[in-house]
C-alpha cells in the first residue's frame, strides 16, 4: 500500500513537472515567433510600451485629436489629483496581485493559485506620467489614428463599466504612488492569459508587431529588440 502510494505521488509529481516544462517551452517558442507588421504609412500618434521587469503597460498620450483619457480616468481618482500630466499608462492584471500583494514577500498561496488558474477577478491599473523616455524598459511605437482608435477600443473594453457607462474606480489605499489608481477589469488572469498576454493582444489589435503568444514581458521586448538595442 505504501509502495503504491509512493508510485502515485511520483507519477503526479512527474506529471506536474512535465507540464511546467511544456509551459515554459511553448512560452519560449511562441514568444519568438513574430506576427503582424506595422505597414501603415501614416504615423500620427506615438505610444509607448513599458515594463517593470515582469509586467507591461501601454503608455498613451492623455489627450490627442481622437481621445481625451482624462474624461474616462479622471485625475481626481489619484492621491495627488495632479492634472499636469501628459501620459497615462494602462495595465491589466489579477486583482489579488494588484491589491493584496504590495511585495513578493506578501504573496499568499491562495492569491497565486487563483491567479494561475483563472479563479480570481481582474483589475486595470492606471498611472499618470509627466514624461516618458525610451530606455531598455521602454520603447515607442508610431501608428496611424485609425490604429490608435483600435487600441483605444481594446483598452476601453478591458474595463468593467457601471450602468452609466463609466469605469468603476476601486477605492483602495493599496496604490503604488500618488499618481495611480485601480479600476474594475473584465476577464480573468491565468497562466495562459497574463498581463503580458493582454498587452501582446493589444498590439495585435492595433496591427503592430507582436508575439504569436507570450505570457512574459521578455517576448514582447524580444520582438521589439531593434527599438531597444540602440538605447
C-alpha–C-alpha distance, residues 12 and 17, integer Å: 9
Average per-residue pLDDT for the chain: 90
Q: Give 22-70 pLDDT, tens digit per residue.
A: 778 878 898 999 998 777 788 999 999 999 999 999 999 999 988 999 9
Quote the cell numbers at residue 80. Answer: 495627488
Q: Which of 133-142, 150-159, 192-201, 221-230 has the lowest mean pLDDT?
A: 221-230
Quick one: average pLDDT of 110-139? 92
What is the reported pLDDT for 110?
83
Q: Are 186 and 95 in contact (CB under 8 A)?
A: no
Q: Which pLDDT tens digit goes with each residue over 81-94? A: 999 999 999 999 99
Please tell me the predicted confidence (pLDDT) of residue 36: 86
What pLDDT score does 104 carry?
67
The whole-model pTM stands at 0.91
CA distances from residue 2 to 5, 19, 23 in whole angstroms, order as listed: 5, 26, 32
Torsion (CA) 171, 177, 178, 181 in degrees, nearest 10 = -30
Model confidence at 9: pLDDT above 60: no
What is the reported pLDDT for 3?
63
Amino acid at each position: 500500500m505504501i509502495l503504491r502510494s509512493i508510485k502515485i505521488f511520483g507519477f503526479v509529481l512527474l506529471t506536474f513537472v512535465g507540464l511546467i516544462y511544456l509551459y515554459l517551452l511553448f512560452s519560449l517558442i511562441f514568444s519568438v515567433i513574430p506576427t503582424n507588421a506595422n505597414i501603415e504609412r501614416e504615423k500620427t500618434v506615438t505610444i509607448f510600451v513599458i515594463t517593470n521587469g515582469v509586467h507591461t503597460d501601454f503608455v498613451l498620450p492623455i489627450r490627442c485629436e481622437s481621445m481625451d483619457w482624462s474624461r474616462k480616468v479622471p485625475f481626481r481618482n489619484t492621491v495627488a489629483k495632479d492634472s499636469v500630466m501628459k501620459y497615462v499608462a494602462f495595465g491589466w492584471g489579477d486583482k489579488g496581485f494588484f491589491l493584496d500583494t504590495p511585495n513578493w514577500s506578501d504573496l499568499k498561496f491562495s492569491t497565486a493559485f487563483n491567479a494561475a488558474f483563472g479563479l480570481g477577478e481582474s483589475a486595470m491599473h492606471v498611472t499618470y506620467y509627466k514624461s516618458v523616455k525610451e530606455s531598455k524598459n521602454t520603447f515607442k511605437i508610431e501608428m496611424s489614428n485609425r490604429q490608435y482608435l483600435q487600441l483605444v477600443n481594446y483598452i476601453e473594453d478591458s474595463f468593467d463599466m457601471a450602468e452609466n457607462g463609466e469605469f468603476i474606480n476601486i477605492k483602495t489605499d493599496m496604490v503604488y504612488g500618488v499618481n495611480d489608481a485601480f479600476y474594475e477589469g473584465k476577464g480573468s488572469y491565468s497562466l495562459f492569459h497574463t498581463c503580458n498576454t493582454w498587452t501582446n493582444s493589444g498590439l495585435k489589435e492595433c496591427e503592430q508587431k507582436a508575439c504569436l503568444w507570450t505570457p512574459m514581458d521578455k517576448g514582447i521586448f524580444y520582438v521589439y529588440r531593434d527599438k531597444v538595442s540602440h538605447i
